[in-house]
C-alpha cells in the first residue's frame, strides 16, 4: 500500500540576506526551544506517522469518512467534526462542548483544536493519554459527547458494505474490523492535519516571512517567558502547572490533575480557536495573553506588550490541508437506527 504523501507541507525558500537582528532573534527562538514543522513532506511524514499503523492514502481517506460520519454517535447526528470543525480552526466555537441530548460538558471543558494535535505530547486537558488513537476512542463513547457504546459503533460500520470494502482495501482482505481499528483509522486521518505557517518559514531561515511587528512580538513572547510552556514544534501540548482557580476561571470545577497540571494548548492557529482556556471562558485573545502573564508569569503585561504578542501569535495561523467533504456509505436494513435517548 502506498505511503501517503498528501500531508500538508510547505517548502520554504531560505532568504539569502540575514540582518544581524534577524539572526539574533532566530538564535534566541531556537534557544527558547521553538522548533518549526519540517520543510519536506518526507520529514513531516516521519514526524506524524505511527509505526504501529502507518499512514497510507487508503487509511487517510477512510479515516476522513469516519471522522465526518455522524452515524458513529448514538443519536446519528454528532460526528467528530461537530466539536472539531475543520472549517472553524478545528474547534466548535462555543465555551463548553455540546454533546448527546444537547448536553454541555459537565466540567465545562472546551473542545481543543484537532489541527496539529499529533504534535501534542499529551491528549485531553488532564493529559491522561499521549496517543491520538486513545483520544479518538474517548469522545465516541462518552455520555455527554457521542454516547455510542463500542458494539453500536461496530454494528453501524460493519452493516454498510462500502465501509467493509474500504477497510479491506486499507488493511487487507483478512482484516478484522473492531471498534479500536475504527478509531485508530480516525486517528490516522487526524495525524495529517498539520498547518505550516509563516513562523515555520522564519524558523527555517526565510527572515522576510515575518513582518517587523511580528518579529518584535516574537521577541517579547520569548523575553517574557511565554516560550517556557509554549515551545517545541507544537508551541504547546505538554503538561504544565496551572492554577485554574486563581482568577475565577474554574467554571465547571476542572482543576487539572491531582498535582495541578493542565495540558498547555497549542498556539498554532490560536486566533481561530476562541474561546480560550480549558473552560472556554475567555473570548479575547488579548485578554487571554494578559491573564497568562498574571497566572503563569507573575507579571502585568502592558497593553503594548500584549498587542505585540498577539501580533506575533497571528503569524502562527497556518496553511490548512485541502479537505473535501466525503460522500458516506449508504445504510442498509441491518444498520442500527438512531437513538436519541
- Annotated binding site: which residue ranges? 80, 83-84, 100, 226, 229-230, 292
Q: What is the CA radius of gyration of the chain?
A: 21
Torsion sign (Cα): 62, 67, 73, 78: negative
Contact 259, 243 (CB under 8 A): no
**Grid coordinates of 284:** 479575547
Which residues are designated catalytic?
Answer: 145
Instruction: List the binding residues for heme c.
Output: 80, 83-84, 100, 226, 229-230, 292
Q: Which residues pair with 99 in a beta bridge?
A: 103
Using DSSP, state whether 186 is helix, strand or coil: helix
* Cα distances (Å, whole numbers) of residue 198 to 10, 57, 209, 316, 318: 10, 27, 5, 7, 7
Q: Where are the beta strands (DSSP E) in 229-276?
A: 239-241, 261-263
Q: How many residues does the chain have?
A: 341
Closest CA to 80 of 112, 45, 44, 120: 112
Angle, helices 212-223 vs 20-31, to 10°: value is: 40
Amino acid at each position: 500500500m502506498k505511503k501517503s504523501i498528501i500531508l500538508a507541507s510547505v517548502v520554504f525558500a531560505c532568504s539569502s540576506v540575514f540582518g544581524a537582528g534577524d539572526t539574533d532573534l532566530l538564535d534566541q527562538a531556537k534557544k527558547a526551544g521553538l522548533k518549526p514543522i519540517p520543510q519536506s513532506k518526507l520529514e513531516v511524514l516521519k514526524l506524524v506517522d505511527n509505526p504501529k499503523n502507518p499512514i497510507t492514502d487508503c487509511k487517510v481517506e477512510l479515516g476522513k469518512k469516519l471522522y465526518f460520519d455522524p452515524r458513529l454517535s448514538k443519536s446519528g447526528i454528532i460526528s467528530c467534526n461537530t466539536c472539531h470543525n475543520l472549517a472553524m480552526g478545528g474547534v466548535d466555537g462555543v465555551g463548553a462542548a455540546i454533546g448527546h441530548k444537547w448536553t454541555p460538558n459537565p466540567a465545562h471543558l472546551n473542545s481543543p483544536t484537532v489541527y496539529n494535535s499529533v504534535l501534542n505530547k499529551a491528549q485531553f486537558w488532564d493529559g491522561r493519554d499521549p496517543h491520538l488513537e486513545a483520544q479518538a476512542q474517548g469522545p465516541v463513547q462518552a455520555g455527554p459527547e457521542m454516547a455510542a457504546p463500542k458494539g453500536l459503533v461496530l454494528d453501524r460500520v460493519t452493516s454498510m458494505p462500502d465501509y467493509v470494502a474500504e477497510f479491506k482495501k486499507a488493511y487487507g482482505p483478512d482484516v478484522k474490523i473492531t471498534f479500536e481499528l475504527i478509531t485508530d483509522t480516525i486517528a490516522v486521518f487526524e495525524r495529517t492535519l498539520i498547518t505550516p505557517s509563516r513562523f515555520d518559514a522564519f524558523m527555517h531561515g526565510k527572515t522576510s516571512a515575518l513582518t517587523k511587528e511580528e518579529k518584535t512580538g516574537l521577541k517579547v513572547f520569548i523575553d517574557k517567558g511565554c516560550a517556557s510552556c509554549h515551545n517545541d514544534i507544537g508551541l504547546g501540548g505538554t503538561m504544565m502547572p496551572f492554577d485554574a482557580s486563581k482568577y475565577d476561571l474554574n467554571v465547571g470545577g476542572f482543576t487539572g490533575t491531582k498535582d495541578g497540571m493542565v495540558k498547555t494548548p497549542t498556539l498554532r492557529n490560536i486566533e481561530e480557536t476562541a474561546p480560550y482556556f480549558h473552560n472556554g471562558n475567555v473570548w479575547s485573545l488579548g485578554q487571554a495573553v494578559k491573564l497568562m502573564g498574571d497566572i503563569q508569569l507573575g507579571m502585568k503585561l502592558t497593553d503594548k506588550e500584549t498587542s505585540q504578542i498577539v501580533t506575533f501569535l497571528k503569524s502562527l495561523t497556518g496553511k490548512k490541508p485541502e479537505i473535501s467533504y466525503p460522500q458516506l456509505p449508504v445504510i442498509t436494513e441491518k444498520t442500527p437506527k438512531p437513538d436519541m435517548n
